[in-house]
Amino acid sequence: MTITGSKGKARDEGAVPSSVALEASGLGHAYKGREVLGSIDFAVRRGEFVCIVGPSGVGQTTLLRCLAGLQRSTRGQVLVKGTAITEPVRGVAVVFQDYSRSLMPWASVRDNVTLPLRANGTPKVEANRIAAESLAQVGLDEHVSDLYPWQLSGGMQQRVAIARALAYGPEVMLMDEPFASVDAQTRADLEDLVRRLQRDLELTVILVTHDIDEAVYLSDRVIALAGKPAHVSDIVDVPLGADRDQIGTKGTPEFAEIRAAVHGLIRRKDDAVS
C-alpha cells in the first residue's frame, strides 16, 4: 500500500492504514465563491515530521486551519486516525505564528500553559505539575512560571506557546510558521528544539513554513503547494537521517539537491493551473 506519492495521492486502496495519523482527502475551501484550496490529498504517518511549503498567499494557513478543525472545509474531509473531523478534537494541538496574540498577556506563564488542562477539568495541582514538566521540556526554568508573557523575549514566548501545546498531551501538533517572528539564531534554536521534542515524544508534526531551508532541515517529507487554487504539486522525501545540525546538514550536497527540487516545485510555471 502506498500512503503518499506523486501529486499527493493519499492512498492506493480503500482502507486507511493504521499508521496514518492525519489525512486530507479531496480537501477544498472557498471564500465567497473564490476557490483557495483545490482538491488536496495527502496522508501523514504517525511519528512523522512533515512540512508544507508554497508561495506567499497560496493558502497554507487556510489549509492548516482546516486540518485543525478550526475552519470547516467547503469540500472533502480531514480524518484524524481514520475519523472525519469538523471541529477541534482531543489529541491535536496548534502552535500559531504570532505568540503575542496566542498567549494571554494578563495571565502568568503557568496560567497560559494550564489553559487547555483547566478547560478539560484537570485538578489544579495536577495541571500545575504538567505545566512545570512541559516548560522544562522546552528549556524554561520553573521561575518563569510566575512571569507574564510580556516580560519574556520573543523566543521564550514561543517556547511557552509550544509548552502549552505539549501540556495538552497531543499526538499531532500543527504549527503555523512558528518561528517567523524571531531572529535567525533563536529560529535555529527553536527548530532544533522542535525536532528533539518530535523524536523524544514521538509526535506527529505538520509545520507550515515559507522557508524552504527550514522545511528541508526539519522534515521527513515536504508537501509542496502551488497554483490557484492551491493543489499539491508533489511530495518530496527528505532522506537526511535523524541526526541533523544547522551547519553540517545544510552544507551537504544532498540538502542542496532537495532544496532545489522543492523550490522548483512551488515555482513551476505550469503549476499556475491545477
User: For residue 25, is pLDDT > 90?
Assistant: yes
pLDDT at 268: 64
Averaged over 146-156, what is the pLDDT? 94
- CA 70 to each of CA 93, 127, 192, 233: distance values in angstroms, whole numbers, following the listed order: 11, 25, 27, 25
- β-strand partners of 42: 24
Averaged over 201-205, what is the pLDDT? 95
User: For residue 120, is pLDDT > 60?
Assistant: yes
- Mean pLDDT is lowest, of 14-23, 105-114, 166-175, for 14-23
In the chain, % of residues over pLDDT 90: 69
pLDDT at 45: 96
User: For residue 179, is pLDDT > 50?
Assistant: yes
Q: State the cell numbers at 151.
A: 516580560
In the chain, which ranges are E strands? Answer: 20-31, 34-45, 49-53, 75-80, 83-85, 92-95, 172-176, 204-208, 221-226, 231-237
- β-strand partners of 75: 28
For residue range 208-257, what is the model confidence (pLDDT) as tens digits? 999 999 999 999 999 999 888 999 999 999 999 999 999 999 999 999 99
Averaged over 32-43, what is the pLDDT? 90
Tell me the pTM. 0.89
| 52 — pLDDT class (breaks 50, 70, 90) | very high
User: For residue 269, is pLDDT > 60?
Assistant: no
In the chain, % of residues over pLDDT 70: 91
User: For residue 98, is pLDDT > 90?
Assistant: no
Average pLDDT score, the chain = 88
